[in-house]
Chain A
């Protein structure tokens, strides 16, 4: 019987047996086993791993993966009104074109002498975010908004030397869960109530709770439940009166029409850049930013990399490098601020492309267009018997709570029924906010046309009847 021909793998140049032998000879080894001599026999895996049979050719691999993915229903085939932390916005073709470039896609994290372009692109991302936020320092993005908010609170704790933080109860359950886990070693997270009519953060509950032990107040604008918090000035003033830091979480796509939080007293601003050119990707498009004023006491508390502009030995040449690198865990391990590692740089570059494309005028138009559409949707839906939309008497941006108590149907039932109309209804809030009854969080953006919204209203009418 002839011996089976060894596989030559297309991703492994030296899987060619002849080359392998040459190299073994060059290093004076009998076989590759020689290299593993330090791994005790007991710890060696004796069997072949039990993994599925591979698809060695690219063609068969493609067919296999496409086959699995074809079981997904997309938001192109279905009309989508889900948001709640991941939002369907239009992704300009140039964003995709830039982030698929092999140069950016496959680079990593070393010297600016090899990767000047990466440094400049991320410096420009921070610079454009800075214009949106009216702030001078923005980080190379972290994992997502959850992490950005958690780190913002820990930064505030280190700056103030205090160990409690007040957080608006209208944030998502996921974010609260993250804050509790991440703040646990240092900070007690306490919740601030909201006004049941308007959803607005309850200023009295803040006044009662806050003390000289409070490191920070964290709220979001627009809130997770979609409405605009109107009393930012008052909240930040209360925080400052007690020596606490005011942290505001924002959706950057609202900042063409909403005021930057620093203008009503925010000290740290954070949020997610997924709306700025990232596809939803089942939640894979998130990246969190943190921004502050250019004050040393803030800058030195960032765990993130911060890229700064610097001169080179040639006049008129821009160079870039890490600012205050000694604060990071790369430089000083556990003595650094929290930790730093790979996060979401490519999404930062992409968001920079988005902001450069959309420009000042575009930011305003997209914000206004979103508000017009979501308002139209709220009113169309509210015309349906038994449905209340929006639940809160406040101005909303792109998301809003819809209540179905009067329909006698649960959100789960309604969403199942909407599926038959090829519609993804809003996120079921019954577990997250039981006090809101049978409610769902709907999201409307610039991707929705009047026909789309009318289709939703008609489907809902049919479903609840």
Chain B
């Protein structure tokens, strides 16, 4: 037999897979419908019940009765399953790829054991309004996880209710509003200060909560200097909502002084720790005296992202602000866990019941596998991986890491392909689409693109050195192609499920179609 291994990978280049994404050319489910097929049968009502209650449908007020069956597709069970499994195959989950390309998102390994645990009936088949005696187990998990986050952040009390990071930011903004209302200063204090490299939800959620937004921009160090904050603060300041380290992976070393400035002016400070992956056990919200913070359990704490949720944004506050937390709060008297609704100053409900308990359970199990040393190991290795990746990526032609030249970064880096674009005419988005041909994700940046031709990579702790080397080789290959064969990059993707999408109809009200029925009315008449 010939040596097969020698010729592995594309063109014999190590680490470059001859990848092709699954392509099933799958119809829209309505196109698969066959009249009369059934995917699942509904249990019949017993005859005794039927006779006793009579024709129930005729008791519905006439104008409220459905006259025509909904035009749902009709498929037998295996055909439904096959269709959705095929769609799943056309989706590149973290389980499948070296997912360092979705920077800021902390795409780490989500342990399978935790999936098995949340699928136990003791988690799936419990109703949130059951007598507290019958849900002591899950209340214990929620309570204990709050204790864990208190230690991780240094803050005094947590609520796990918000359904994701943005909802937690909104709830924190709501608490800031409630705090100033309680002091009779709500009308005067209507400004929230944030930075452009803080997650856009800090600005958007605070605006939704009724505040005006002041956004500060970085200097060459990568963050606004202390003077910029001093200039922004006034008697109108309600608070500061800031991500640190920011999306550039640069830690703002003036953070304690910034908090002082805001406090002195009478404002509150909220620390966006959605992505705390590089600082677990290293630095906390408490030391620089933040009043509020939040963590995304689907980021730093390993719960899977689920194509965009379900998720949890755990919000933490100081003792002084605890009375404003959403209702209910979980309490423990030494023997029993209970839910306390008697919170007259609470901002009220943020999300139904107590949040997404199964996501908390996954995060709890993850922490309980690692412990204090393990969490710190997570941060240290995530940061080591990032700085290793930084070193390797900067060896690629056309890329740079703007700001803080020569400095180390925390958990991620926002790179720039500005030079490559100038040299080749290839844009960052196009590099990302070509990278998809090798089976990896790639993300540019939140908008606006402050860093020109941006690309944000975050390797987390979940990838090995050889995984990182593989990702770097893909970027190197795409860069080489941009310089030597730009057409190949321009016309990508070549190995994806689909080809280049024509975006114009998506922004045209006369053509856009968000449902199959709208498409049929507008396009396929």
Contact = CB atoms under 8 A, between A and B. Distances in A.
Interface in B109-143: 109-111, 113, 115-131, 133-138, 140-141
A395 to B, nearest CB: 5
Contacts of A207: none
A359 B29 CA distance: 12
Given A357-B77, A362-B40, A116 B498 contact: yes
A102 B344 CA distance: 43
Interface in A22-39: 22-24, 26-27, 29, 32, 34-39
A306 B288 CA distance: 40
A39 B283 contact: yes
Nearest to A348: B307
Nearest to A100: B115
A247 to B, nearest CB: 17
A329 B69 contact: no
Interface residues of A, number: 211
Contact of B117 (A9, A65, A101, A415): A65
Interface in B21-57: 21-22, 25-26, 28-30, 37-46, 48-50, 52-53, 56-57
Contacts of A336: 200, 204
A102 B96 contact: yes
A281 B362 CA distance: 13
A267 to B, nearest CB: 16
Contact of B163 (A42, A111, A143, A175): A143
Nearest to B50: A372
B517 to A, nearest CB: 5
Interface in B385-419: 385-388, 390-391, 407-410
Nearest to A316: B25
B368 A80 contact: no
A12 to B, nearest CB: 5
B40 A358 contact: yes
Interface stretch (A120-128, A210-218, A238-246, A455-463): A120-128
B151 A294 contact: no
Interface stretch (B7-15, B262-270, B349-357, B473-481): B349-357
A188 interface: no
B372 A257 contact: no
Nearest to B337: A71
A43 B283 contact: yes
B234 interface: no
Contact of A108 (B70, B116, B136, B308): B308
A205 interface: no
A259 B65 contact: yes
Nearest to B92: A114
Contacts of B383: 32, 35-36
Interface string A82-109: 1011101010101011101111111111
Nearest to B78: A94
A283 B506 contact: no
Interface stretch (B224-232, B315-323, B456-464): B456-464
A169 interface: no
A442 to B, nearest CB: 12
A15 interface: yes
Given A114-B496, A356-B80, A324 B507 contact: yes
A228 B64 contact: yes
Nearest to A128: B72
B206 A334 contact: yes
Nearest to B298: A342
A45 B75 contact: no
A68 B137 contact: yes
For A55, A72, A101, A126, which residue has the most chain B Cβ atoms within 10 angstroms? Answer: A72
Given A115-B91, A124-B29, A324-B506, A15 B377 contact: yes
Contacts of B127: 75, 80, 82, 86, 88, 280, 282, 424
Given A11-B461, A23-B465, A108-B107, A369 B45 contact: yes
A275 interface: no
Contacts of A27: 384, 387-388, 390-391
Contact of A373 (B49, B75, B80): B49
B208 interface: yes
A177 B501 CA distance: 43
A39 to B, nearest CB: 5
Contact of A284 (B69, B357, B462): B357
A372 B49 contact: yes
Interface stretch (A160-168, A307-315, A402-410): A307-315
Interface string A168-204: 0000001101101110111000000000000000000
Interface string B439-480: 001110011000000000000011111010000000000000
Nearest to A397: B60
Which 8 A-B pairs have CB atoms at the shortest separation, nearest pair first?
A: A185-B210, A54-B371, A283-B353, A341-B166, A117-B90, A357-B39, A329-B204, A346-B306
Given A82-B129, A175-B349, A343-B163, 13 more contacts: A11-B461, A54-B371, A68-B140, A105-B115, A116-B498, A131-B71, A143-B309, A282-B135, A325-B507, A334-B203, A371-B59, A372-B49, A373-B45
26 contacts: A12-B374, A35-B386, A45-B283, A54-B374, A92-B40, A102-B96, A103-B89, A106-B94, A110-B443, A116-B21, A117-B22, A117-B88, A121-B87, A121-B91, A174-B353, A257-B65, A280-B124, A282-B358, A283-B354, A284-B355, A329-B200, A333-B213, A339-B207, A339-B208, A349-B307, A369-B45
